[in-house]
Chain A
Amino acid sequence: MAILEIDNVNKTFGGLRALWEVNLKVEEGAVHAIIGPNGAGKSTLLNCLVGRLAPDTGRVIFAGREVLGHKPHEINQMGIARVFQTPEIFEDLTLLDNVMIPAMAKRDGSFRLNAWRRVAARAELREEAEQILEDVGLAEQRHVVCSALSRGDKRRLEMAMCLIQHPRLLLLDEPTAGMSRADTNATIDLLKKIGERGITKIIIEHDMHVVFSLASRISVLARGTFIAEGKPDEIKGNPKVQEAYLGGAQA
C-alpha cells in the first residue's frame, strides 16, 4: 500500500518550472531514493512535502490525509520527520536536550503549557532520550553542548531527533553530503539499522554508493519531472537516466 502519494504537483519560481507534473507513490516500508542532477528539483519537492514551500497545483496524500496547506509542525505531527542537508539541531543545548525536545513534541503535541513541572522529573522522557542516543552511538556525549560536535555526529544526532518521534515517514536530504568515507559508511550502517524499525524513507542523494546500498526503489528526477522509476538494477541500466546525468553535466 502506498503511504505517500504525490499527485500531479507543479511549482514555478517566476518563469522557472521547478516541478512539472510530478507523480510519485511511495510504498509503506520502502526505502525510496530520489536521484537526479543538480537543479532537478529534488530539494524543492522535499520542501513541498514538509510545508516549507506551497506547490502551485497538485495533491500530496500521506496515510490518507492531505498534506498540502498544512504548517510544518502539523505535518510533523502527522508523522513525517525530516533530516536536513545541513544539520538543523539546537546548537546551544546539550545532546540530551536535543533529543528530549522532539520526544516532548511527540508526547505533548504541538503546544502544551507545562510551565511548572521540572523536565528532569519526567523520567520516562529521559530514559527514552538516553536510549536513542545509545542507539546512534552518542550516549557518552549526552551532556555536551552540540556546537562542539563534528558534522558527522551532528547528522547522527539529527537522525536521533527524528527517530525518537517514531515517524511513519522519514525524509533524508543528502544525509552524507560533505562527509568522509568513514562517516558515510557509518551513516549507511545507521540507516540500515533504522530500516529494521520499518520506517518508510525517502532519500535524496548524489552518492550512488549510498543509493545502491540502501534503496529498495529509485526514482530519477530531471528538469522538474520524473523520467524513470524502478528497482536499483533497472535504473542502473536505463539509458534515459544515463543521458539525463550526462546531459546535466554538460549543460
Chain B
Amino acid sequence: MFAKTARGDWLLFAIFTAVVLAAPILFAPIGAGYPDLLQKFAIYGLFAIGFNILFGLTGYLSFGHAAFLGVGSYATVWMFKLLSMNVLPAVVVSVVLAGLFALLIGYVSLRRSGIYFSILTLAFAEMSYKLAYSVLTPITNGETGLQVRNLAKAGVVNFQHGDLRILDRAFGVVEHGVPMSNLFGIKMSGWPGFYFCAAALIIGFFIAMRISRSSFGMMLRAIKSNQNRLNYTGVNTRPYLLAAFVISGMYAGMAGALLAVTDPLAGAERMQWTASGEVVLMTIMGGAGTLLGPVLGASVIKYFENIFSAINENVLHQVFSWLPQGVQDVVVSILSLFVGEGWHLTLGLLFMLIVIFLPGGLMEGLGRIVSLFKRGKAASDAAQNGQEA
C-alpha cells in the first residue's frame, strides 16, 4: 500500500500515530471507544508486532511467547512491590528480564528449525507455566496470583502483609487505599492508562518499521525465503535468528508489563499455551510479515472477545424486533449460536475464511480492495494520459 521509500514510511507512521491517538473517537461508533478495550488493542497489538518480527520475517513459528508475556507481568508487579508504583522502572526492568529469558530459551530452541523449534518453545512456555504454579510459588504466589498490597510497616519484610516500595518510601509518597500504578503521579487507569499503552504501541511500531527496512530485517526475510542459500552466502543465520527472537521476546515482555500496569496483577494463566496460540492467530489473521497486520489482527480478535461475547439473546431480539415473532425467534436462535458464549465460533469461522481465501491476512484483503480502486482509477487515467508506471 505504501511505497518502500523513506517518505512512504513517514507517511505510514504519521497515519498510524494519528489513528492510534484518535482511537477513542474513531472506535466509538462500533462500541469500542472505551479505555479498557482500547488498552487491550494497544497491548496485544504490541505483543503481535513483536511476534511478527520473529514469525513474520524469519518464518520461525514460536508457540511459547506467552512465557515472555508472563515474565513481563511478574517483573512489573515485583517492581511495584519492591521499588515504586511508578511505571517507568517497572517497564524497563520487565523488558530487560523478558529479553534475558528470551536469550536463554532462544539459544536452546534455535538449535532446531521448523516444527521442532515450535515444539521446543511450546515446551519451555508450558514448563514456565507449570513452574509458576508449583516450585516458583514464593515468587509468583501460585494460583492466587501476584498482586500489589499496601505498604508494610517499617522494618517488616513479609510480602504476605505488605510491600516495600523503597523509592516511594524514600520520596515520602502517601498511599490511600490500594495503591495504583502511576507515571509521576498520573494514575494509569482510564484514559491516561490507554494513552500510556498507545505511546508504547507507537514507539514499538516505529522500531518494528525500522527493523523491517534495515539490513538486519532483510537478512531475516532471507532466512524465511531460503536459509540454506543464506548459509552458503557467508551469513551465520543463528545470531540473526537469536537477535530476532530476543527482540520479539522483549516486545512480549513490554506487553506483559503493560497488562500489569493497567491492572496490577499477574497470574500464571498469562503464560498458558492458549495465550501463545492467540498471538499466532492475531498475526496470521492480520497478515504475517506486514507492519500493520499484527495490530489489525490483535484488534479484531480483542474486539470479538469483548463485544461479540457481550451480545445475548435479549440484544438480538431487540435488533430484530421489526421481524414477525415466529421469524424473529428462528433468526435469533440461529444467530445466538455465534454471539455471547459462541463468539469463538464466529472467530473460528472468520479465521478459516481468512486463511483459505486471504492467506496474506486482512492486509491482503485491504491490498486487494486498494488495487481494485487503483485499477478503476488507472483505467480512466490511462484513457487520458496513456500508460501509468
Contact = CB atoms under 8 A, between A and B. Distances in A.
Contacts of B215: 104, 108, 112, 114-115, 117, 119, 122
Interface stretch (B77-85, B220-228, B361-369): B220-228
A31 interface: no
Contacts of A169: none
A101 interface: yes
Contacts of B247: 115
Interface in A114-147: 114-122
Contact of A105 (B6, B226, B228, B233): B233
A163 interface: no
A119 B6 CA distance: 10
Contact of A100 (B218, B229, B235): B218
B5 A120 contact: yes
B226 A88 contact: yes
Nearest to B4: A120
B358 interface: no
Contact of A115 (B216, B224, B225): B216
A142 to B, nearest CB: 14
Contacts of A71: 231, 236
A161 to B, nearest CB: 7
A110 B210 contact: no
Contact of A101 (B5, B213, B214, B233): B233
A76 B233 CA distance: 6
A116 B212 CA distance: 9
A222 B122 CA distance: 49
Given A114-B216, A115-B217, A93 B234 contact: no
Contacts of A110: 234-236
Contact of B225 (A91, A121, A161): A91
B230 A101 contact: yes
A205 interface: no
A90 B226 contact: yes
- Select the residue from A71, A90, A102, A117 with max chain B CB neighbours within 10 A: A90
A225 B233 CA distance: 29
A93 B225 contact: yes
Contact of B235 (A93, A111, A116, A121): A111
Interface in B323-347: none
B235 A118 contact: no
Contacts of A111: 235-236, 239-240
Given A112-B215, A117-B214, A119-B213, 16 more contacts: A73-B231, A73-B233, A76-B231, A81-B232, A88-B226, A90-B225, A90-B230, A91-B226, A97-B221, A105-B234, A111-B236, A113-B239, A115-B247, A116-B211, A120-B5, A165-B234
25 contacts: A71-B236, A72-B231, A73-B233, A73-B235, A81-B232, A88-B229, A88-B232, A89-B226, A89-B229, A90-B226, A91-B226, A93-B225, A100-B218, A101-B218, A101-B230, A105-B230, A105-B233, A105-B234, A109-B234, A111-B239, A111-B240, A117-B214, A118-B213, A119-B217, A120-B5
Shortest 8 CB-CB distances between A and B: which pairs?
A76-B234, A115-B216, A110-B236, A90-B225, A88-B229, A114-B215, A105-B234, A72-B231
